Amino acid sequence: MQASGLSSEPNYSRRSFFGRVSQWSALFAAYPLIPLPNLVESLASDSRVAQTPVVDKGFASVRKVGEGLYATISDTSKGLQTMCNGGFLAGKEAALLIEGFVSPAGAAFQHEMLRTISQTPIMGAIDTHYHFDHSMGNSYYGANGIALWAHINTSRRIFESYAAMQGVDKSVIVGPIEAQAKNAKSEMARKHAEQYAATIGNIFGVANATVVALPNRPLDPAKLPIHLDLGGLTAVVETYPGHSGTDVIVRVPAQNVVYTGDLLFNNMYPVTFDGQASVSGWRSTLKTFLSWSKDTIFVPGHGQICGPEGVQLSLDLFDDVEQQAHKFHKAGVTAEDAADQYVVPEKFKNVGIFAWSLSIGPTITKLYKEWDAK
């Protein structure tokens, strides 16, 4: 046998290994680091909501929001182990975890917090949808024998979106967006495309740093809602349109507490880039949320815990983007150009934007499509 395979340069050099590791730590250079605001006054005085968190690790805190109900709230300005919000429900006979988070460390943190509060058997963990920041920590649950529940299309979409990035040259994924930035017609368009390239580069980094794990308990939307009896605590899993085509929420009607996943962003422009996101569908979902009891506590996918005022803000943001887009549409501005021309009004200047081209931009192009289809 020839030793042709034994070249002096191994295919996986230490340098390439450390390159991958540092990609993770440098991951969110472009992520908007918005500090978590305090609870709104109505919730700060709500008897269901604990005034102080059970634990505050910086990157996330866990707070009691009802009998046996806990919210895990991320503060991305302090760390990115969890990145999205989640929570857990601890009944007398069983517990349920919500979200796989962006990393196994995030899922581990939440599991450990549950275990400090309850030793009850775990029925499962739920990914509210397939997006990386809610699912790249799934392998922790798999390694710990915790069943993973999700919308029936979540597994396929995790695989197609993130496993498909693994081992691919980064330039294949990010190059076309960088070219778009180079050829941009305006300064705004260039800025948005550069930010988009950085964000997709970050997601590429996460996907390549992750041992992807897929949910093993598919939830067929035709069979939802389902009621989960945790022992003195009933959770209802429902599905609604809007954000990703794979969205499920966990609702506890007896206590008026809802874990919305990304169907609600509190104080952030809704993220609508997904091929299956629908502006009109999302608005109808938000209106359904508003039709529930006025004292409903919402645990959003991102941002602080809120009441109906957080849902109303999302609708107001959609309204504002729509009003401006409508003017562009009437003036004959193309969808592509209009997507960069929205101006954030003074009253929304403290509202977060998770990459323009994943939120405001696609909201405008989707509205154009809905109008042009009429």
Q: Which amino acid is at 14?
A: R
CB of 262: closest distance to Zn ion in angstroms?
Answer: 4
Rounded to whole angstroms, the Cα distance separating 262 from 277 reads 11
| CB of 250 vs Zn ion, minimal distance in Å | 15
Nearer to Zn ion, 31 or 371 (CB): 31
Instruction: Give the torsion sign (CA, 35, 39, 40, 41).
Output: negative
- In this complex, which beta carbon is closest to Zn ion, that of residue 71 or of residue 203? 203
Using DSSP's 3-state secondary structure scheme, residue 327 falls into helix
Cβ 91 to Zn ion, closest distance in Å? 27
Told to check if 262 binds Zn ion by CB under 5 A, we report yes
Which has the closest alpha carbon to 237: 310, 318, 150, 327? Answer: 150
In whole angstroms, the minimum distance from the beta carbon of 129 to Zn ion comes to 6
Buried b (16+ CB within 10 A) or exposed e, 220-232: ebeebeeebebee
Smallest gap from Cβ 243 to Zn ion, in A, equals 6
Least CB distance to Zn ion at residue 282 (A) = 12
- Rg, C-alpha atoms of the chain: 21
Cβ contact 278:373 at 8 Å: no
The CB-of-260 to Zn ion minimum distance in angstroms stands at 11
Question: Which CB sits closer to Zn ion, 273 or 368?
Answer: 273
Nearest residue (CB) to Zn ion, 132 versus 342: 132
Closer residue to Zn ion (CB): 71 or 95: 71
Nearer of residues 131 and 251 to Zn ion, judged by Cβ: 131
Footprint (CB under 5 A) of Zn ion, residues 92-131: 131
Distant-in-sequence, close-in-space partners of 32: CB < 8 Å, separation ≥ 6 = 76, 352, 353, 354
Judged by CB under 5 A, which stretch of 54-62, 155-163, 259-267, 357-365 contacts Zn ion?
A: 259-267
Helix axes 279-291, 308-330, angle to 10 degrees: 150
Show Cβ contacts of residue 137 under 8 Å, excluding neighbours closer than 6 positions: 99, 100, 101, 102, 103, 104, 105, 106, 107, 108
Nearer to Zn ion by C-beta: 99 or 262?
262
# chain residues binding Zn ion, by CB under 5 A? 2
Q: Give 80: exposed, middle or buried? Use CB within 10 Å, 0-12, 13-18, 19+.
A: buried
Q: Which stretch binds Zn ion (CB under 5 A): 34-42, 71-79, 170-178, 258-266?
A: 258-266
Interacting positions 131-170 with Zn ion (CB under 5 A): 131
Q: What residues line the site for Zn ion (CB under 5 A)?
A: 131, 262
